[in-house]
């Protein structure tokens, strides 16, 4: 029993942290968001909703400046005020914003947003448990190995999630008749934006894999779907 106590404690800690993170995220989003009411974007989300057989898709504006889209653990979709502003200024098209919404819907549909919350809080617990176990066999460097392993695992998980959400979005945008061109052009625009202001990369790009590779992955899907006709 004693041997397993550290692991049990780590699991318990992870659970409590998870509940706390979900609660804190919801409170933050509730306090700083409103429903998006834009007729041009509503036309887009209505097309996505029709493709999914849903009455409507609700999108919220999260009142922060960084260009970002996010899916909350409770399944709500958010576009930041900064991203919406780019649309209002004509820098981003309605189709491009629809591609972000489709990508975030993918995270929700595939259960990523809930899991990601576990990632944040669970990572610490996993790190602690691994460090405890490894330190018994490898005193001194056990903690270092635990850190490296946990970070590697987290990076792999989130990269995989991004490609899956892109794939979901590509399929949904195709079915809705919006197409994947907007998805790809947005990647290019955001990358140009990153280079124009180095050091101020949009948050949405930073947490995602390389632009070239994401575009290539979508093009691979396109050719596969074209073959199947
Ligand atoms: Zn994503």
| pLDDT one-digit tens code per residue, 114-127 | 776 655 556 777 77
Q: Mean pLDDT over residues 160-164, rounded?
A: 90
Instruction: Give the chain's count of helices (H) and strands (E).
Output: 9, 4
Report the percentage of the chain scoring pLDDT > 90.
Answer: 43
Q: According to the model, what pLDDT value does residue 72 have? A: 86
C-alpha 136 chain-centroid distance: 36
Phi, psi of 60, deg, nearest 5: -110, 150
Distance, CA of 73 to CA of 80 (rounded, Å):
16
Q: According to the model, what pLDDT value does residue 210 have? A: 81
What spacing in Å lies between the alpha carbon of 103 and ligand 1's midpoint? 6
118-121: long-range pairs with CB below 8 Å, 24+: 118/14, 118/18, 119/154, 119/157, 119/158, 120/21, 121/14, 121/17, 121/18, 121/20, 121/21
**202 or 39: which leads in pLDDT:** 39
Q: Mean pLDDT over residues 43-62, rounded?
A: 96
Question: Given pLDDT bands bounded at 50, 70 and 90, which one contains residue 144?
Answer: confident
Distance, CA of 112 to CA of 71 (rounded, Å):
9
pLDDT at 5 over 80: no
Please say whether the beta carbons of 87 and 31 come within 8 A: no
Q: What angle do CA 225, 223, 172 make, to 5 degrees?
A: 45
What spacing in Å lies between the alpha carbon of 8 and ligand 1's midpoint? 32
Q: According to the model, what pLDDT value does residue 202 have? A: 60
Instruction: Say how many C-beta atoms besides its own lie within 10 A of residue 63's C-beta.
Output: 14
pLDDT at 89 over 60: yes
Q: According to the model, what pLDDT value does residue 20 have? A: 81
Q: According to the model, what pLDDT value does residue 14 have? A: 74
**12 or 80: which leads in pLDDT:** 80
**107 or 15: which leads in pLDDT:** 107
What spacing in Å lies between the alpha carbon of 138 and ligand 1's midpoint? 37
Query: Mean pLDDT for the chain?
Result: 84
pLDDT at 11 over 80: no
Write out the residues surrounding ion ligand 1, Cβ under 5 A. 162, 165
Q: According to the model, what pLDDT value does residue 59 have? A: 96
If one counts the domains in the chain, the total is 1
Range of the domain at 165: 2-228
**18 or 208: which leads in pLDDT:** 18
Using CA atoms, how far residue 119 sits from 123, 125, 208, 223, in Å, is: 5, 10, 16, 34
What spacing in Å lies between the alpha carbon of 116 and ligand 1's midpoint? 11
Cβ neighbours for 62, distance < 8 A, ≥ 6 positions apart = 29, 32, 33, 68, 70, 78, 79, 80, 81
User: Could you report the per-residue pLDDT of 187-212, keeping only the tens digit for each?
Assistant: 888 877 666 555 555 655 655 678 88
What spacing in Å lies between the alpha carbon of 104 and ligand 1's midpoint? 6
Distance, CA of 20 to CA of 74 (rounded, Å):
14
**Nearest-10 crossing angle of helices 142-175, 211-228:** 40
pLDDT at 175 over 90: yes
Q: Mean pLDDT over residues 77-104, rounded?
A: 94
Q: Which 8-state DSSP code applies to residue 3?
A: G
What spacing in Å lies between the alpha carbon of 42 and ligand 1's midpoint? 22
């Amino acid at each position: 029993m004693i041997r397993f106590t550290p692991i049990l404690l780590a699991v318990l800690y992870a659970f409590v942290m998870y509940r706390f993170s979900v609660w804190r995220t919801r409170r933050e989003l509730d306090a700083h968001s409103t429903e998006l009411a834009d007729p041009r974007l509503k036309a887009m989300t209505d097309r996505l909703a029709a493709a999914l057989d849903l009455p409507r898709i609700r999108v919220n504006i999260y009142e922060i400046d960084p260009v970002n889209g996010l899916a909350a653990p409770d399944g709500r979709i958010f576009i930041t005020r900064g991203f919406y502003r780019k649309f209002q200024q004509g820098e981003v098209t309605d189709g491009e914003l629809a591609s972000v919404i489709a990508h975030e819907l993918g995270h929700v549909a595939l259960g990523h947003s809930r899991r990601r919350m576990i990632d944040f809080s669970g990572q610490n617990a996993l790190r602690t448990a691994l460090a405890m176990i490894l330190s018994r066999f490898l005193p001194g460097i056990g903690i270092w190995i635990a850190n490296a392993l946990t970070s590697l695992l987290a990076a792999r998980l989130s990269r995989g999630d991004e490609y899956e959400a892109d794939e979901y979005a590509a399929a949904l945008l195709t079915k809705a008749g919006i197409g994947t061109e907007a998805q790809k052009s947005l990647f290019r625009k955001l990358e140009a934006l990153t280079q124009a202001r180095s050091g101020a990369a949009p948050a949405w790009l930073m947490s995602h894999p390389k632009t070239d590779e994401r575009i290539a992955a979508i093009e691979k899907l396109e050719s596969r779907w074209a073959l199947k006709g």
